[in-house]
Amino acid sequence: MRAAALSPGLADPVADAQGCFRAVLDAMSRPGSVRRVPADVRPPAPLVPAAAAVLLTLADAATPVWTDAGPDAAAWLAFHAGCPLATSPEDAAFVLACGSPPSLGVLVQGTDEEPHRSATLIAQVAALEAGSGGWRLRGPGIEAEHRLRVSGLPSDFTARWGANRAAFPRGVDLVLCAGREVAALPRTTAIEEG
Amino acid sequence: MSAAPQDAAGGGTLAGYNFAYLDEDTKRMIRRALLKAVAIPGHQVPFGSREMPLPYGWGTGGIQVTASVIGPDDTLKVIDQGADDTTNAVSIRRFFGRVAGVATTERTAEATVIQTRHRIPETPLREGQILVYQVPMPEPLFRLEPRVAETRRLHALGDYGLMHVKLYEDIARRGEVTISYNYPVMVNGRYLMSPSPIPAFDNPKMDRMPALQLFGAGREKRIYAVPPYTAVRSLDFEDHPFRPNRADAACALCGSRDSYLDEVVTDDRGGRRFLCSDTDYCERRRAEQ
Ligand SMILES: [Zn+2]
């Protein structure tokens, strides 16, 4: 194992996991709102702190993780989260994309009877900005409309997201991470380009 | 049964336990279930329920949800049938005070997390608050379809004809729907959901509530959720619209004609009076008078 694999995980595993979980729960409950993860974590590149903290909070031996982040980052995640590494995104409970995310349709969708058995996509993006400009979001968790500007996703992402949403109750849920910030879109959220 | 909560919450018996009692593996599993529950409003997500130092019926499902959510910055309120001062509510509040060191309150407006059995507070909840329901039976179809595999199939199809027939038969026989507690609701127009045994009077409060609603059923090992501002509609018919019932009286203490009332026997000659079931709401009103 290289030195990068040994850099520390969550400084206070119990308190940091609780704080990170609440940030993600709040983000998922109010799609388009941006939250800061409270954990001080310094993962190896190209992982950003928010994505690393979310995975250390939610992943474990029961949840295979696939990532395009390269061997150092993958080894760091496997070591600190205790999660198996999936060899392809189709087999993962959590898919961490640092580059262009894999097609949503190939990820685990769940079934009509067990739609909760679906993958969560954690996508690292360049920047997240809530409040004005960018996507117009509607759906559960949103009183009227939330605005979220996301920099760094492929231009056809909203079309792909529309197909994901149309498969409800099956479908993938999305967590967006930039630096220490996190936003989330459950499969119920409708995106309209701003 | 009454001894168990005291034993569990008493003395130093919990020294050495993890923050909020549950181990981190269990919390992580429950947290994953909660996120999927929020993403699929009204859908029941199975989880590996743990033995808690309280018997089922004391709200072990709600307690496990609260334990997986709560943190040192939270302020917890616990109500049982609307009251903060019953043995059940006091035991659960003391339990979390001990194992999580969180601040507790009886005031709805001050709480960030509210665990409840059988009521929704009268004081409107706001964004950022989390309401955790204790659920004895999460499956709204269980009296109509005892086969669990079949109820799962009906939820998958969104086929709720059985429930419509049951309500229709009620109306045909008695002229109205006779369900006064645990009145079934449709969540976001897709899933039939049990609101837990709250009075039907409380159902309208669930609709587009600004707070996050989480439901935990310990014995049945199910978690479900309603995100903020999500449509929650009580099942009804066009010619028989849903009408939440309330005793036609005023609270004997605060005079409220809007709150849900309990009928209380006041003496051994059969004297009765009506009091707010929500003790915090009633006290706040009296303090303002
Ligand atoms: Zn009163």
- CB burial class (10 A; 0-12, 13-18, 19+) of residue A38? middle
Report if residue B169 sits inside a domain. Answer: no
Task: Give a yes or no: residue A182 inside a domain.
Answer: yes
Q: Verify that B128 and B102 share a domain, yes or no.
A: yes
Whether residue B131 is found in the same domain as residue B259: no
pLDDT value at residue A2: 54
> How many domains are contained in chain B?
2
- Based on the domain organization, do B229 and B250 belong to the same domain? no
Structure tokens at A72: 């150092």
Identify whether residues B82 and B224 lie together within a single domain: yes
Domain assignment of residue B188, yes or no:
yes
Task: Write the CATH number for A108.
Answer: 3.40.50.11310
What are the chain B neighbours of A118 within 8 Å (beta carbons)?
36
Alpha-carbon gap, residue A108 to A88, rounded angstroms: 11
**DSSP annotation of A90:** G
Tell me, yes or no, whether B257 and B229 share the same domain.
no
| DSSP three-state, residue A122 | strand
Q: The CATH number of the domain where B192 resides is what?
A: 3.40.50.11310
Residue B217 lies in a domain: yes
Interface of A with B (CB under 8 A): 13-15, 17-19, 21-22, 24-26, 28-30, 57-58, 60, 62-63, 111-113, 115-116, 118, 120, 140-143, 168-169, 173, 186-188
CB B38 within 8 A of CB B191: no
Give pLDDT tens digits for B7-50. Answer: 333 333 355 668 878 999 999 999 999 999 999 999 999 998 78
For residues B204 and B250, membership in a common domain is answered with no
Asked if A46 and A69 count as a contact pair (C-beta separation under 8 A), the reply is yes
End-to-end CA distance of chain A: 46
B136 shares a domain with B78: yes
In a domain, A192, yes or no: no
Residue B148 lies in a domain: no
Q: Is B254 a catalytic residue?
A: yes
CB contact under 8 A, A25 and B127: no
Q: Which of B42, B61, B62, B216 is catalytic?
A: B42
> Looking at the domain assignment, is residue A25 inside a domain?
yes
B155 lies within 8 A of chain A by CB? yes
Q: Is B276 a catalytic residue?
A: yes
Number of domains in chain A: 1
In whole angstroms, give the CA distance from residue A141 to residue A28: 8
Q: Show the tokens assigned to B207.
A: 């609709």
Boundary (domain end) residue, out of B234, B259, B279: B234
Q: Which tens digit of pLDDT belongs to each residue from A25-83?
A: 999 999 999 999 998 899 999 999 999 999 999 999 999 999 999 999 999 999 999 99
**Which of B36, B139, B151, B206 to substitute to test the interface with A, most A CBs within 10 Å?**
B36
Q: Is B101 a catalytic residue?
A: no
CA count, 13 A, side-chain hemisphere, B192:
23
pLDDT value of position B211: 98
Sign of CA dihedral A17, B54, B131, B43: positive
Say yes or no: B267 and B198 in one domain: no
Would you say residue B129 lies in a domain? yes
Considering only CB atoms, B43 lies closest to which of A18, A28, A169, namely: A169
Closest-CA distance, A170 to chain B, in angstroms, reads 9
Indicate the residue of B32, B39, B70 with minimum beta-carbon distance to A187: B39
Question: What local confidence, expressed as pLDDT, does residue B7 receive?
Answer: 34
pLDDT given at position B12: 35
User: 0.90 cut: is pTM over it?
Assistant: yes
Query: Chain B: residue nearest A110 by CA?
Result: B36
Among the residue ranges A89-93, A101-105, B135-139, B238-242, the one predicted with the least confidence is: B238-242
Task: Give yes or no for a contact between A86 and A97, defined as CB atoms under 8 angstroms apart.
Answer: no
Q: What is the pLDDT of residue A117?
A: 98
Answer yes or no: is A191 within a domain: no
Say if B160 falls within a structural domain. no
Domain identity same for B75 and B190: yes
Q: Return the pLDDT at B148.
A: 94
Containing domain of residue B93, as a range?
24-140+180-234
- Boundaries of domain holding A96: 3-186
Q: Are residues B190 and B280 in the same domain?
A: no
* Model-level ipTM above the cut of 0.85: yes
Residue ranges of chain B with pLDDT lower than 70? 1-17, 55-57
Q: Is residue B200 a part of any domain in this protein?
A: yes
Assess whether B275 and B221 both reside in one domain.
Answer: no
**A17 contact residues in B (CB cutoff 8 A):** 24, 27-28
Q: How far apart are CA A71 and CA A77, in angstroms?
A: 10
Of A43, A71, A72, A46, nearest to A57 (Cα)? Answer: A43
How much is the average pLDDT of A175-183? Answer: 98
**C-beta atoms of B18 and A14 within 8 A:** yes
Domain co-membership, B89 together with B187: yes
Count of beta carbons in the 10 Å neighbourhood of residue B249: 14
